[in-house]
Amino acid sequence: MKYKNLYALAFLIIPLFLSATTIPFEYIDGKMIINVDIKNKKHNFIFDTGALTIISSELKGSLNAKKSNIIFEATDANNSKSTMDVFSTNDLKVSDLKFKNVDFSFADIGWMDSRACRKISGIFGANMMNNKVWSLDFTAKTIIISDKVVQSSAQSVLIPFSEESFTHVPTINLNIRSQNFNVFFDTGAGSGFTLDSKSYQLVKDNNFLTFEGLLSQSLSSVSKGERYLDLMKIEISQTDLGNQIIDTSSDSRNLVGTKFMENYLIELDFINKKIVLHTTDKTPEYNSFGIAFAPVENHLVIVNKLKIPQLSELNVGDKIIKINNINTTNINSVTFCQVKRTRDSSTIITFQVDSGKEFKLEKKNILEYLN
């Protein structure tokens, strides 16, 4: 289906919604960021179907929070467990929608700020999405929220999901190379389909890409090691979705993230417990320079690298002292955000490591290395 027809379809669907509210989101490094009002002050929250609602510890005292008798044991994307007290509040609002008796936990999420280059005050979790329909459009960067949908398109993939009892996090079933897996439908993850190492071994072949270094950071843990990336055929609800991006890390739970979702118009129906994928003409891409960098002790450091011959002279831990015309010898949050903007907007970057050697890299779809 071409995009011009897709948007005609979207306009046909929207009038069928009752009490619909449209909100914009920013799309940064695979994260969907929305505005949440707390007592008439706007705060940036990550829209995350894979989590319970979290509010920054810095906002303690800024909202009316009633402590419950529940102790929540959380398991993050790196399979790290932690326990948190649960509170409830009536002070959260999105656009004209007020949310009542929202369960949440306070947590230190300050590390998210540098990743998004803006202040992140919380996670808008799946428990706030219960009993509503959420339509995600990654091209228009909007979310349409409705109390009811009376009709869906015939040209779509219908996926039933189950929910975790307390968090309402949705789980779907899929088939990869004759193996069935349950995966979390997780808008808080910037990946395609991610399998834990045990699951990945069941479908692994001899043609894959390897990343080394820092893999991910979550609420209470950091994952390091090697990550494998491949293309594999996915079947959901007896529908062949073709080749999709599959990756793995040593401690990851099975999930599907926004790198897959961004190729569809999506309806998350928490009323009827189903996900509707409206197909587009987009195909999976993984555009990258092959390296990732982050500030470490005031240095800009390579923290992740694709293991290919073209990058053999670079190592995880190498310090970058200059990228394009930006001096990065003493990196701070302002300079790092400037570097990120350069990375995102450029197809070619030139950088110098502390040994004095200069490199020039082109951004490309690294899935081509699998052919």
Residue with tokens 């040593």: 250
48 confidence band (pLDDT: 50, 70, 90)? very high
Residue finishing a domain among 279, 296, 324: 279
* Same domain for 173 and 136: no
Rounded Cα gap, residues 346 and 289, in angstroms: 10
For position 249, which CATH number holds?
A: 2.40.70.10
Q: Scanning the structure block, which residue is given the tokens 């995102």?
A: 344
> Same structural domain for residues 64 and 184?
no
Nearest to 264 by CA among 159, 108, 111: 159
pLDDT band at 18 (very low <50, low <70, confident <90, very high): low
Q: pLDDT (tens digit, 9 = 90+) per residue, 70-107?
A: 888 766 555 566 789 999 999 999 999 999 999 999 99
Domain that holds residue 221: 148-279
Same domain as 72, residue 39: yes
Query: Phi and psi dihedrals of 190, rounded to 5?
Result: -95, 15
For residue 5, being part of any structural domain is answered with no
More confident call, 1 vs 98: 98
Same-domain check for residues 35 and 107: yes
Indicate if 186 and 255 belong to the same structural domain: yes
- Mean pLDDT over 149-170 rounds to 84
Model pTM above 0.85:
yes
Do 165 and 268 fall into the same domain? Answer: yes
Domain count along the chain: 3
Same domain, 337 and 358: yes
pLDDT in tens, 299-344: 999 999 999 999 999 999 999 999 999 999 999 999 999 999 999 9
DSSP 31: E
- The reply to whether 41 and 104 lie within a common domain is yes
In 3D, which of 344, 251, 247, 242 has the Cα closest to residue 293? 344
- Of 248, 279, 310, the residue at which a domain comes to its end is 279
